[in-house]
Structure 1
Amino acid sequence: MDKLSLLKARNEEILAAGSEIRKKLAEIIDGDSFVESDSYSFSRNEFYGEDVPGEGVVTGFATVNDFPCYVVCLNSQILGGGLTDAGCKKIVKCLDKALNAKAPVLYLLSSKGVVAGDGVSPLEGVSEVLSAMDELKGEVPQFAVCIGDVFGQASLFVAAADYTYFTKDTCVAYGSPVVIAAKSGKYADKAAIGGTASAKGNDLAYFEVSELSEVATSMANILDILPDYGGTELETMDDANRACPALNDKADAASLIKAVFDENYFVELGAYFAKEVVTGIGRIGGYSAGAVVFDGKDGVELNNANIKKLQDFYWYCDVNNLPVVTFVNTLGLENSLSLAATPVLKEVSDLISLLKTDVPRINVIYGKAVGLGYTLFGSKTFNVDYAYAFANAKIALFDSNVGAEMELVAKGGDYEEIKKRYEDDEMDAVNAARKGYVDDVIEPQYVRQYVISALMTLV
């Protein structure tokens, strides 16, 4: 057989071995944009004479909605998508190229973890991949799409990515059901261990998709907002002076996002985890920005889960050079025995370090800023450039219930009457403005105009 015929035969063998993973990849990328790299770097040391032809890892380059990106696929057709030393080196090589090009990385993951029988070498390989992924954090966006089961050390690839997509039957867990059942002696339900519902609860699943084509749309929406890919400022057809009269009567996360952000330019991140704190990115008057909205009728109480979400998001905005607008409605730490038994105070201390970011920060107190809630998110001390308060916002040392009870004990009187007076007088946002703690007390319906004006001076 001549060299060209041999090459053709080998290529056909490789394509056949990776046919399923390529079909799934084709649902996300643009047309025939995929260019494979290192196709002859196989999962085992030798290719010829093996029972299993092909590769456990497919890498290359493609475009997604015209955004260039690098691609890493774990091919479950070969060795169950198992990780080998050769496969890991192939991944690292692709990630190094992505870092040099400042191009996003798309992972398609379906793997049973490290391949047994190759000694410690695959473990060394996984450590190199995780190190390379960590090097990319804050440098290029990493999108992980879980298209099947992802077990063992491969599950760490999901956790290391910036954006994660789960399909209906996905299961991501360090210990597979078989391993957990063997150790515990009890049946282990795959969905309970690491199914999509479980992953939503532990902050591993950012998005759930029913079709892989949805990933392409989501990726494009995110990249279009990030300054390094979509630009810091874009022209917008949305009126910068648009008012939202409904905010004068009621404000919550949904209405604030709709009122402030440009139409069709907001992507919520981490929607399934700590839902009382809404985080996301978008454009405001054409400017890229991140948003934190404390979404609770009577003010959000802080706990370990939402503090972790806040830590991650403020860090994310910092490394992506995104100004942060924080819509404040929080009472501070939850008072409970269960929370007191956790290292929550250390978590708050770590959060403070992340609040002191170098990117522009704007605070809008739209509900309550009480106690520690004000200290962390109402005060301008932690590198906040502008602080606004709605005219009906409440800012105080104590919530009205506590304030009224303290006065009732000290002076006596009617509880409801004292409570109302405390809310009207002691919690009035004007008091904070008089002392210079708040830059302006504003009519809620005009909040978009104030935020855009602030961004114009900061970006």
Structure 2
Amino acid sequence: MKEGQTLLTEKQEKFEELREKLLAGGGERAVARQHERGKMTARERVYALLDDRSFVETGLFVKHRSTEFEMDKKDAPGDGVITGYGTINGRLVYISAQDFTVIGGSLGEEHAAKIARTQEAALKVGAPMIAINDSGGARIQEGVDALAGYGRIFFNNTQASGVIPQISVIMGPCAGGAVYSPALMDYVFMVDNTSEMFITGPKVVQAVTGEEVSSQDLGGAMTHNSISGVAHYRATNEEDCFSQIRTLLSYLPQNNMERPDALPCDEDPDAKRLELNTVIPEDPAKPYNMLDVITAIADRGEFFQYQEYYATNMLTGYIRLNGEVVAVIANQPRVMAGCLDINASDKAARFVRTCDAFNIPLLTLVDVPGYLPGTQQEYGGIIRHGAKLLYAYSEATVPKVTLITRKAYGGAYIGMCSKHLGGDIVFAWPGAEIAVMGADGAANIIFSKAIRNADDPEKERTAKIKEYEDKMMNPYIAAARGYVDDIILPEDTRQRLISSFDSLKGKRVLTVSKKHGNIPL
């Protein structure tokens, strides 16, 4: 018995030695270089993001089986990726974190298999999947096996789409084919100065096109948050990034079969918001900040924005109303007068579809003078891109409440979740203007002959504009037709919105049976 115990102890010691070696990743020198770049190691990131002592690792002992190009002589602990599960604020999540200290975090056959198995486990139990990317790309020595691994990950991304929240975290290089997994996921986070994401790097760009561009300008955090729209959140450092991820998850359910958790709210749901009575300027041409409206109605004035730096003429993000999570889509009059353009339509449509997939009610705040005119928009396909927003709203089956604060003109009025696209409850403030177009343009068309033949055309034009404004530029005609359910005082907005979403909690929609729709991509 003693010999058996001694033998077992020897095996345990061997196990502990091997385990410690694997936990060390690429070794002290590689870890030091990672820290010099201002980056945590993969293991440090996992521990920093998850609840203390909650991480359970899977696949620690996985090894690659490549022998070509002296790969059989290369030691790769965990094959360069850490996988497993743990909790964030007590909620189960699955996680993968590429380890740049091990062969540059390059993706090979077994590396990919570990990520894919983690994705499949997350999908099986209905828990969010978080993928931390920090990799030099495909492991060239493994050839097509590496490419096959990417394909399996992309396939799993697609299978999990709309079923579990998928969060991609770019914390280093992410280039070539590797970029398509983040692109297929629901939310992409990037960190200033250390995140890089592009199909082809600066050297290839220069060789092919002659352009000289830095890695950060080509594919850094601000580039993808403000210009391309590929990323959704930007962080100043890795700790800030993890804090934002934890905040995002607090607004999301575990999967598409659940609703987001409600939180206790100590604010009076019937309290008036008097500041809203003066938020709209008397001059209809003068802009105001729609953020003032959002923070006035939200619990504790908190608004967690989505794509804050992209298409800033459209605001998107999450609030709570009396403790319940609500997604906000709102025109921003301070930017391009709140016009809908290509980027704003894409941003809002993607957000609407994401929220609908995860049972998050939609609140649409409308102040839109129309679609942005110009050859750049027409050549860029504003018709097709604008149609995405119409499709997304029409397809959504979650509760949909709309508030028209000021302008709602033409096709843009329809597109911002009007009654005609399935808006469940539509409110308007007394000063709302719901019309085909602005009074100036309408008067020029309707009264063109009278203005042209008048003794004083300018005076006649002014009179006709006033006549059109008095007759058409108000919410009462739409309310008379049932297109607006009620006209409310701004100060009552929060109370009415809370009541509306409460009444819609039991909403059920019977949809037409089909394989899938054909959204105008």
Say yes or no: TM over 0.5. Answer: yes
User: Cα 1:309–1:53, aligned 2, differ >3 Å: closer, same or farther?
Assistant: closer
Q: Which residue of 1 aligns with 2:398?
A: 359
Structure 1: 5+ residue stretches without partners = none
Letter in 2 for 1:343: G
Q: 1:230 offset after TM fit, Å? A: 7.1
Letter in 2 for 1:10: L
C-alpha RMSD over aligned residues: 2.3
- Where do residues 171-190 of structure 1 align in structure 2 (5 Å cutoff)? 171-190=196-215
Q: Distance in 2 between matches of 1:410 and 1:328?
A: 33
User: Cα 1:319–1:129, aligned 2, differ >3 Å: closer, same or farther?
Assistant: same
Q: Which residue of 1 aligns with 2:73?
A: 50
Does residue 8 in structure 1 map to residue 37 in structure 2?
no
Letter in 2 for 1:366: T
Q: Which residue of 2 aligns with 1:127?
A: 151
Q: Distance in 1 between matches of 2:216 and 2:440?
A: 43
Aligned 8 A contact 1:233 1:288 in 2: yes
Q: Distance in 2 between matches of 1:341 and 1:27?
A: 46
Q: Which residue of 2 aligns with 1:428?
A: 474
Structure 2: 5+ residue stretches without partners = 1-6, 32-40, 281-288, 452-456, 506-521
Q: 1:43 offset after TM fit, Å? A: 4.1
1:273-292 alpha-carbon deviations (Å, 9 max, x no partner): 11110011221122221111
Aligned 8 A contact 2:259 2:359 in 1: no
- Where do residues 246-257 of structure 1 align in structure 2 (5 Å cutoff)? 246-251=275-280, 252-257=289-294
3-state DSSP class of the match of 2:73? Answer: coil
Q: Distance in 2 between matches of 1:198 and 1:48?
A: 36
From 411, 435, 449, give the equivalent of 1:372. Answer: 411
From 344, 350, 353, give the equivalent of 1:306. Answer: 344
Q: Which residue of 2 aligns with 1:17?
A: 25
- Where do residues 82-93 of structure 1 align in structure 2 (5 Å cutoff)? 82-93=106-117
User: Cα 1:378–1:395, aligned 2, differ >3 Å: closer, same or farther?
Assistant: farther
When Rg is computed on C-alpha atoms for both structures, the one with the higher figure is 2
From 160, 181, 184, give the equivalent of 1:157. Answer: 181
Question: Given the two structures, how large is their TM-score scaled by the length of structure 2?
Answer: 0.83
Q: Which residue of 2 aligns with 1:343?
A: 381
Q: 1:386 offset after TM fit, Å? A: 0.6
Aligned 8 A contact 1:277 1:295 in 2: yes
Aligned 8 A contact 1:299 1:368 in 2: no
Q: Distance in 2 between matches of 1:71 and 1:45?
A: 25
- Where do residues 114-263 of structure 1 align in structure 2 (5 Å cutoff)? 114-169=138-193, 170-200=195-225, 201-228=227-254, 231=260, 233-251=262-280, 252-263=289-300
1:210-237 alpha-carbon deviations (Å, 9 max, x no partner): 2323334323322222244774544311
Q: Which residue of 2 aligns with 1:411?
A: 450
Q: 1:404 offset after TM fit, Å? A: 3.0
3-state DSSP class of the match of 2:44? Answer: helix
Aligned 8 A contact 2:340 2:371 in 1: yes
Q: Distance in 2 between matches of 1:85 and 1:227?
A: 32
Q: Which residue of 2 aligns with 1:37?
A: 58
3-state DSSP class of the match of 1:364? Answer: strand
User: Cα 1:250–1:28, aligned 2, differ >3 Å: closer, same or farther?
Assistant: same
Letter in 2 for 1:390: W
Q: Distance in 1 between matches of 2:421 and 2:98?
A: 43
Q: 1:262 offset after TM fit, Å? A: 1.1
Q: Distance in 1 between matches of 2:272 and 2:474?
A: 24
Q: Which residue of 1 aligns with 2:427?
A: 388
User: Cα 1:197–1:234, aligned 2, differ >3 Å: closer, same or farther?
Assistant: closer
From 263, 268, 286, give the equivalent of 2:305. Answer: 268
Q: 1:378 offset after TM fit, Å? A: 5.9
Q: Structure 1 stretch 385-394 or stretch 326-335: which is displaced more? A: 326-335
User: Cα 1:264–1:447, aligned 2, differ >3 Å: closer, same or farther?
Assistant: closer
From 363, 368, 381, give the equivalent of 1:325. Answer: 363
1:294-353 alpha-carbon deviations (Å, 9 max, x no partner): 111584222211111121011011101111111111123222122222332223333322
From 126, 131, 135, give the equivalent of 1:107. Answer: 131
Number of residue-to-residue matches in the alignment = 459
Q: 1:94 offset after TM fit, Å? A: 0.5
Q: Which residue of 2 aligns with 1:74?
A: 98
Q: Distance in 1 between matches of 2:212 and 2:485?
A: 59
Letter in 1 for 2:213: A
Q: Distance in 2 between matches of 1:108 and 1:231?
A: 24
User: Cα 1:306–1:192, aligned 2, differ >3 Å: closer, same or farther?
Assistant: same
Letter in 1 for 2:164: V
Aligned 8 A contact 1:224 1:230 in 2: no
Q: Which residue of 2 aligns with 1:334?
A: 372
